[in-house]
Amino acid sequence: MRNMEKKSLLYYINVVSFAALEANLYLDTHPEDEEALEYFHHYSDAREQALKEYAKRFGPLNTDQVRDGEDVWKWATQPWPWEGGGC
C-alpha cells in the first residue's frame, strides 16, 4: 500500500509540474494574462506542497527539499530510480 501511495504522489507531482511548466512557457509570451498567472500560481503552489509532502514521507526528490541538519545527505543515499527508488 505504501508503494502505491508513493507512486500516486509521484504521479501527482508530475501532473502539477507539467501544468506549472506549461503555464510558465505560456506566460513568457503572454505576461499580461491574469488568468494564466493565477493558473500558474495555483499549480506552482500545488507542486511545492506535493514536493514537501513527498520529502516528509519518502525523502527528498531533489536538493531543494533538503534542510540543514535534517539528514542532509538522505537524498543521495536512498535508492536511485533505476534501483527501484523512484516508484
pLDDT tens figures, 16-47:
999 999 999 999 999 999 999 999 999 999 99
- As to burial, measured by CB atoms within 10 angstroms (0-12 exposed, 13-18 middle, 19+ buried), residue 47 is buried
Pairwise CA distance, residues 37 & 24, whole Å: 8
Whether the full predicted model's pTM is greater than 0.95, yes or no, is: no
Helix, strand, coil % (nearest 5) of the chain?
A: 70, 0, 30
Backbone angles phi, psi at 66, to 5 degrees: -90, 130
What residues have CB less than 8 Å from 19, skipping those under 6 apart?
39, 43
What per-residue confidence (pLDDT) applies to 60? 82
Which is higher by pLDDT, 18 or 5?
A: 18
Name which of 8-12, 43-47, 50-54, 65-69 the model is least confident about. 65-69
Residue ranges of domains in the chain: 2-83
